[in-house]
């Protein structure tokens, strides 16, 4: 498991007792992401789980930057929140989650059809398609995500998916059991295409909220924020930090991931900051894939709730 380092006001214990949370490489018995997403958190789950509040203690879990939902699926199994609110401002992604939630049979049927027809020509044709039904949109996104170059989701300035063909010998489009597991985990969730800025009026005291925004770039050349057409620049990072301060005052339990940069450290200087090591796999230059440190920001209420594990 990668190391966790404390870097905030309080020191972490140097060695943690092993937790039986299941390393990300083990086969977990909970639902897991059905798409690969830039910034996906699967490898960090054992480290993040140390900060979760105890099972059964949370009325509502909110994740406003959903992506592939890796943390949601884990929290759902580990914490068992009674209610769940999932947001992302990428409408195609939200439609995909809603289709899996509402009509997983239809999504599976379409994916099985695409698997049988998979080829470069079929991929290029699929890229041009604009399905009308939610299940059609979901199956297209999952198919393109699993067969495109590097499993990267990227749209051009007109909002059109433009990643080239991936030349995977035998792409694993989907796993029926896992998709059904994901549908069950999502069954009661509210899933909406919303902007994180609207969360201030939505959140209530006691909500456990995990933020995984597009990361602040380590350097100008590493600027990777093209999940959607909207850029997530310094102004958004500042708005997010201001939102966290407001939600902290409201009485929410807060956890946030971001890159280790001077800006992020300055924005969250009043919170607890921990360093975790992560491997990033989405990088077009294979040689640049390696361990890097990133930050986890926590507020006192969450530290208090998760005490005993950290």
Ligand X SMILES: C[S@@+](CC[C@H](N)C(=O)[O-])C[C@H]1O[C@@H](n2cnc3c(N)ncnc32)[C@H](O)[C@@H]1O
b/e string for 33-70 if b means 16 or more Cβ within 10 A? bbbbbbbbbbbbbbbbbbbbbeeeebebbbbbbbbbbb
Per CB under 6 A, 137 contacts ligand X:
no
Supply the DSSP symbol for 247.
H
How far is residue 209's CA from residue 60's CA, in Å, rounded to a whole number? 8
Span of 34-42, 102-110, 120-128, 275-283 interacting with ligand X by CB under 6 A: 34-42
Q: How far is CA 37 from the centre of its chain?
A: 7
CA atoms within 13 A on the CB side of 30: 21
Of the candidate residues 32, 41, 60, 301, the single one contacting ligand X (CB under 6 A)? 41
Query: Under rule CB under 6 A, how many of the chain's residues touch ligand X?
Result: 24
Span of 22-30, 49-57, 181-189, 211-219 interacting with ligand X by CB under 6 A: 211-219
Per CB under 6 A, 151 contacts ligand X:
no
Task: Please choose, from the candidates 189, 232, 194, the residue with its C-alpha nearest in 3D space to the C-alpha of residue 75.
Answer: 189
Question: What backbone torsions phi and psi does residue 178 show, to the nearest 5 degrees?
Answer: -65, -40
Per CB under 6 A, 46 contacts ligand X:
no
**Least spacing, CB of residue 261 vs ligand X, in Å:** 15
How far is residue 161's CA from residue 227's CA, in Å, rounded to a whole number? 10
Task: Please choose, from the candidates 283, 281, 241, the residue with its C-alpha nearest in 3D space to the C-alpha of residue 258.
Answer: 241
Binding characters for ligand X, 72-111, by CB under 6 A (x = yes): ---------------xxxx--x------------------
Task: State both tokens at 2.
Answer: 């990668």
Per CB under 6 A, 192 contacts ligand X:
no
Per CB under 6 A, 67 contacts ligand X:
yes
Of the candidate residues 227, 241, 252, 274, the single one contacting ligand X (CB under 6 A)? 227
Per CB under 6 A, 114 contacts ligand X:
no
How far is residue 91's CA from residue 87's CA, in Å, rounded to a whole number? 10
**Least spacing, CB of residue 201 vs ligand X, in Å:** 15
Q: Are 12 and 6 in contact (CB under 8 A)?
A: yes
**How are strands ordered across the β-sheet holding 208-211?**
4-6, 272-279, 291-298, 253-259, 208-211, 60-63, 83-87, 190-192
Considering the complex, state which of residue 23 and residue 124 has its C-beta at the smaller distance from ligand X.
23
Per CB under 6 A, 68 contacts ligand X:
yes
**Least spacing, CB of residue 119 vs ligand X, in Å:** 28
- Provide the sign of the torsion angle of the four alpha carbons 294, 205, 46, 189, taken in this order: negative
Of the candidate residues 65, 123, 143, 211, the single one contacting ligand X (CB under 6 A)? 65
Per CB under 6 A, 161 contacts ligand X:
no
Considering the complex, state which of residue 28 and residue 300 has its C-beta at the smaller distance from ligand X.
28
Considering the complex, state which of residue 115 and residue 245 has its C-beta at the smaller distance from ligand X.
245
* Residues in 232-251 that interact with ligand X by CB under 6 A: 232
Considering the complex, state which of residue 8 and residue 40 has its C-beta at the smaller distance from ligand X.
40
Per CB under 6 A, 39 contacts ligand X:
yes
Per CB under 6 A, 195 contacts ligand X:
yes
Q: Position of tokens 């990267």?
A: 152
**Least spacing, CB of residue 45 vs ligand X, in Å:** 9
For residue 297, what are the CA distances in angstroms to 31, 184, 224, 274, 304? 25, 30, 21, 6, 14
How far is residue 104's CA from residue 83's CA, in Å, rounded to a whole number? 21
The binding site for ligand X (CB under 6 A) comprises 37, 39-41, 64-65, 67-68, 70-71, 87-90, 93, 195-196, 212-214, 227-228, 230, 232
């Amino acid at each position: 498991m990668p190391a966790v380092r404390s870097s905030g006001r309080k020191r972490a214990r140097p060695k943690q007792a092993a937790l039986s949370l299941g390393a990300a490489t083990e086969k977990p018995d909970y639902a897991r992401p059905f798409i690969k997403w830039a910034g996906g958190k699967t490898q960090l789950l054992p480290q993040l789980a140390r900060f979760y509040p105890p099972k059964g203690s949370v009325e509502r879990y909110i994740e406003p930057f959903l992506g592939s939902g890796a943390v949601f699926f884990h929290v759902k199994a580990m914490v068992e929140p009674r209610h769940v609110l999932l947001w992302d401002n990428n409408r195609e992604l939200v439609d995909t989650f809603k289709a899996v939630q509402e009509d997983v049979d239809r999504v599976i049927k379409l994916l099985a059809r695409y698997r049988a027809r998979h080829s470069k020509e079929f991929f290029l044709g699929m890229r041009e398609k604009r399905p009308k039904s939610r299940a059609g949109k979901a199956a297209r996104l999952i198919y393109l995500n699993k067969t495109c170059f590097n499993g990267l989701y990227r749209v051009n300035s007109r909002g059109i998916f433009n990643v080239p063909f991936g030349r995977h010998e035998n792409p694993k489009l989907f796993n029926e059991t896992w998709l059904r597991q994901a549908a069950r985990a999502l069954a009661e969730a509210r899933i909406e295409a919303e902007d994180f800025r609207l969360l201030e009026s939505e959140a209530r005291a006691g909500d456990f909220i995990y933020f995984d925004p597009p990361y602040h770039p380590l350097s100008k050349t590493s600027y990777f924020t093209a999940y959607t057409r909207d850029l997530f620049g310094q102004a958004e990072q500042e708005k997010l930090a201001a939102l966290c301060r407001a939600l902290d005052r409201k009485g929410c339990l807060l956890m946030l991931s971001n890159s280790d940069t001077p800006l992020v450290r300055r924005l969250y200087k009043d919170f607890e900051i921990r360093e975790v090591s992560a491997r990033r796999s989405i990088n077009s230059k294979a040689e640049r894939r390696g361990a890097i440190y990133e930050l986890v920001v926590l507020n006192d209420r969450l530290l208090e709730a998760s005490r005993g594990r950290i």
